[in-house]
Structure formats: structure tokens, C-alpha cells
Structure 1
Amino acid sequence: MTETRLYIARHGKTMFNTIGRIQGWADTPLTTTGEEGIRELGLGLKDAGLNFKLAVSSDLGRTVQTITIAQKELDILGQIPYYQDKRIREWCFGSFEGMYDADLFSGVLPRISGIVDATTMSFEEIANGIVEADTANWAESWEVLSGRILDGFASIARKVERQGGGNALVVSHGMTIATLVDLLEPESQKRLILDNGSVTVIKYVDGKMTVEAVGDMSYRQRGAEMLEKMN
């Protein structure tokens, strides 16, 4: 039986991540700390002996920057096919792009939904609340958002499967990866918060995606140990 796995990393820490601002389709580059974290990730993946047939990122700059650094550390940059897929972009937060996280999740969403604690809201409720409050009408409905996320990751898996299976290195975004996990295993989802450079593993067999690991930081931790010995 052909097995395919997507090793989906969250991009490195960015300027907006550092100061707690919402970063959906808006983009800021990785900080020096963020770049170092992805060097750790690449080294840790290499040390684990993982081989990749395909590399894919979203089309946003922070994921392109991340996958470039990771591939350099893995010694696969330019050695395997790579492309960008806008379907695995972060959520679009519309007119709330760049707002402080706390203002949206502790201010706007509770007022719209009537729910005091926004951390208890489902992803669908959050998406619907953002759409309702977005004066620019840019935010995506839950149907559009969830559909493009599932389609994007399934498309990557199918490409690898057609090549006989194996592993793909994928770089996406925190809310997008958490949404994918929620869609695949809703009973186990409790509003995941995924660290920058963490790895979520999705297995794909016979057209079905299943979750094997969520937010794994062991690759980064191993890479950090290796970098410390090098310095």
C-alpha cells in the first residue's frame, strides 16, 4: 500500500508574530530569531533521515522564506520540485489585518458573537464573526476557507502519491494548519496554538488524510542542539 506523508511546518517567527499583531494575508518577514528557528528545523529534519520528494509553501513571503532556509539546511534546495499554492495561505482577516491579536479576540469577536471568552469559539464561529464584522468584505466565509484548505493539502498529497508515495515538505500557517487538524479530527481539537517551526504530520492513503502528529517541536529541539555544538 502506497503511503504519503505531509510534514507541514508553521513558518518561522515574523515581525508581526513578535509584537502580537494579526498576520493573515498581510505579510512581514522572519526576524533573525525566526530565521535561526528554521535553521534548527532544517537541521533536525535532516538528522532524522527524512527524504522529501516535493516541497510546497503558500505564496506568502514568510513561508517562501521559511522553506528556502529549511531546504538549504536539508541540502535539497534546487534538488527536488518546489511550488507555491495559495490555497494553503493563512486565513484572511480582512480589515482586521495588522490589528493586535487581543483587540480582535478579546474585543471585536466577543462583541459580535455575544460569547465572553473567544477562546471557546469554534473555528467556524470565528470565521463567521470575522465575516460579519469585516467592513472591507475581504474575509472568507467558513465554507470557502475550509474548502480551500482541504483542497490545497489534498492536492499536494495526491501529487506525491502519483509519484509512488513518500514525503512532502510543506510550509503553511498557524491557523491554517490548526484548521486542517480540526477538519480531519474535530473530536480531538481544542483550539490548537502551534509554535513557529513546529511540524504537523498528515498521512495520506487511498484518498484519506489522517493526523499522525500535531505541533511537534522535536525537530527544532534536535536542530538547536546541533547548532549549539557547531558554535
Structure 2
Amino acid sequence: MAKTKLYIARHGKTMFNTIGRAQGWSDTPLTKFGEEGIRELGVGLKAAKIPFRAAFSSDSGRTMQTMEIILRETHNQDLPYRHDKRIREWCFGSLDGGYDGELFQGVLPRTVALATGKPDDQVTYPELAAGIMEVDTANWAEPWEVIKERIYSGFEAIAQRLEASGGGNAIVVSHGMTIGTFIWLLDEKRGKTPLDNGSITVVSYDNGRFTIEKVADMTYRHKGREILDKKK
């Protein structure tokens, strides 16, 4: 059986990413710049000659748009492709669509859960989830126990499905905080690594256990940009 490995991409840059709004379960399309970035990723993955056996994304429009470009550029349009809502982004509830600065530097630091004075990069995901729930007037935000269960089980189900079919590589498109949370559950230090749009995080899966191989790797995008620049 081939080694089971997930290549997890963060979706391309969107309208809300560009203007600094928290996207969550709301959705905006990739910008022209975002599409070009994912084209670079696809070209870089093709150049690396990674044989993908399956494709998975969340059910959000931005991840599906990203996957469409990746599959086209890697010539994998016929690859089996499934959506899984468990690997959606976090839900910010009534704060969805708000400006990042107002949310993360204004509202949330004043909550009981986050009034610790910690720098942003030291705030844990459970603390962040508690803060969001505290100020979500719509009561749509998920508690930490629900967030971690849905995200881990989503990636685990993908790995198990791939393993059951003989292993190999899957291309997966998800979201910044979702990927960060998954990696944090495996290794808290590496789970706080910033993830650029179009970055690749690689995990392998064997005997019910995940192993982190790479986090936030931008080399595929950089290689793709080199190739495209040479063609101009």
C-alpha cells in the first residue's frame, strides 16, 4: 500500500482577504490576484510530478474555485473530487464579515475569555473560540469542543477514505484557521504558523496517526511563478 499523504492548500486570496474582513462561513470569490496565485500553485504542483489520487475541499465557494484551478493546472480534471463541510472555516457568527482589526484588536481583546494581555500569537484556539462565543449575539458561533471535533474528524475521514482505497496522495483545499487548528491539535507550536493563501501543508497518515511533514510551504507557488514568468 502506498503511503497516505494529504497536501492541504489554503484557498486563494479573496475579496474579503484583500480588504481585511473576517470571512468565516460567509464567502467571497477569489480576486484576479488570488486566481493567479493559485495558478502558480497548480503549475508548481504539476512540475513536482506529485501523483494525486483524489481531491477534497470544504463546501465553500472560495475553496471550490481554488480546487477548480488546481485541477486544471495539474491536468487532473478527472480526479475523484468530494466536498466536506467539516473542513469549513470557523464560524464567526454575527461577527462574520467584520473587519479583522475591529474583531481581533478591538472587540475580542475586551472579552472575559481574552482579557489576558497575551500577544496575538500566544492566544490559544480554545481561548479564541470562547471569546467569539462571548460576543456573538446571533448564537451561531461554535464552542471549541465542536470546532476541534468537526475539523479533526473531517481531515481524519479524508485520510481514512484514501487509506482504505490503497493510500497515495490527496490534494485538499481548506481555510487558514481550519488548517491552523488541525495542525495545532497535532502540535501546538506548529499550529500557530502563519499560512499564506496558496501555501501547502503536508501530513501523512498511518495506523490511525497523523505526522506533520511540512507547514505553510510556499515553494510550489514560487516554482510555478518561475515557470510562468519564463513563458512570458
Q: TM-score band, normalised by the shorter chain?
A: over 0.9
Poorly superposed stretches of 4+, deviation over 6 Å: none
Q: Match of 1:83, as an amino acid?
A: R
Aligned to 1:91: 90
> Structure 1 length as normaliser, TM-score?
0.97
Give the C-alpha shift of residue 110 in structure 1: 0.8
Please state if 1:30 is matched with 2:30. yes
RMSD: 1.1
Q: What CA distance in whole angstroms lies between the structure 2 residues aligned with 1:124 and 1:199?
A: 24
Quick check: 1:40–1:219 contact (8 Å CA) kept in 2?
yes
Quick check: 1:93–1:138 contact (8 Å CA) kept in 2?
yes
Which sections of structure 2, spanning at least 5 residues, go unmatched?
A: none
Please state if 1:62 is matched with 2:62. yes
One of 177, 180, 183 as aligned partner of 1:178: 180
Give the C-alpha shift of residue 117 in structure 1: 4.3
Quick check: 1:8–1:200 contact (8 Å CA) kept in 2?
yes
Quick check: 2:185–2:191 contact (8 Å CA) kept in 1?
no
How many equivalent residue pairs?
229
Residue identity (%): 58
Which sections of structure 1, spanning at least 5 residues, go unmatched?
A: none
Aligned to 1:108: 107
- 1:171-192 deviation per Cα after TM superposition (whole angstroms, max 9, x unaligned): 0000000101100112x23622
Quick check: 1:110–1:118 contact (8 Å CA) kept in 2?
no
Quick check: 1:106–1:117 contact (8 Å CA) kept in 2?
no
- 1:113-162 deviation per Cα after TM superposition (whole angstroms, max 9, x unaligned): 21334502101100011011100000000000000000000000011101
Counterpart mapping for 1:148-167 below 5 A: 148-167=150-169
Aligned to 2:16: 16
Q: What CA distance in whole angstroms lies between the structure 2 residues aligned with 1:41 and 1:153?
A: 21
Q: What CA distance in whole angstroms lies between the structure 1 residues aligned with 2:214 and 2:51?
A: 18
- 1:86-113 deviation per Cα after TM superposition (whole angstroms, max 9, x unaligned): 0000000001111111111111111002
- 1:15-41 deviation per Cα after TM superposition (whole angstroms, max 9, x unaligned): 000010000000000000000000000
Quick check: 1:29–1:62 contact (8 Å CA) kept in 2?
yes
Give the C-alpha shift of residue 2 in structure 1: 4.6
Quick check: 1:5–1:166 contact (8 Å CA) kept in 2?
yes
Q: What CA distance in whole angstroms lies between the structure 2 residues aligned with 1:152 and 1:182?
A: 15
Quick check: 2:181–2:191 contact (8 Å CA) kept in 1?
no
Q: What CA distance in whole angstroms lies between the structure 1 residues aligned with 2:119 and 2:16?
A: 21
Q: What CA distance in whole angstroms lies between the structure 1 residues aligned with 2:118 and 2:130?
A: 16
Give the C-alpha shift of residue 165 in structure 1: 0.7
